[in-house]
Amino acid sequence: MRVAKRLPSPDRYTGIFFLTISALLFWACMNIKEFAAIGVGSAFVPRLTAGLLLVVGLALLIDSWRQPRAAEAETTESQQTTSSGLVGLPAVAASVISMVIYMALLDPLGFLPASALYGFAQMLILAKDAKRAYLKFALIAALPATCFYYLFVNLFDISLPAGILG
């Protein structure tokens, strides 16, 4: 009896990709000159992005090594049952369309409502039909939008479009 060779999880490749991009971004922002007069330096956002990519890459790698059998079982199960949710190229197209709509609604609606709606729409696109929890999605979409609005307006003193709320 022949034992099937297990291929590495796609999450492992994605994690390695994110770690590589994170390292390159962090290395690239080492040469950004800081201006002390403005408080937060110009390298802050690139370093923050590099740090977030590092966290996502590590989480993907750890998850791909921790649960390889669960991922294989889920892949086999998902191949057996057909899902009516968006998968593959239609999901990518829907994500791009939702980003364009987000950018169009940013000025008229404002940052907070437009960002919450975009987050909610993106969760609907990425979630499988059986796992949709609309109230949870709405709360999860509104919380980061509110936190980012507070962070940028009050801490960084950056004005964002107020729209219908302002």
Distance CA 141, CA 54 (A): 23
pLDDT of res. 121 = 92
Q: Which amino acid is at 140?
A: I
Please give the chain's pLDDT, 166 residues, in tens.
Answer: 555 555 567 778 888 888 999 899 888 888 877 665 555 667 777 788 888 888 888 888 888 877 655 545 555 555 544 455 666 778 888 888 999 999 999 999 999 999 999 999 998 888 876 567 889 899 999 999 999 888 888 887 888 888 887 6
If we measure between CA atoms, which residue out of 144, 147, 107 comes closest to residue 122? 144
Distance CA 11, CA 8 (A): 8
- The residue count for the chain: 166
Neighbours of 120 (CB within 10 A): 19
Q: How many helices (H) and strands (E) does the chain have?
A: 6, 0
pLDDT of res. 69 = 54
pLDDT of res. 161 = 84
pTM of the model: 0.56
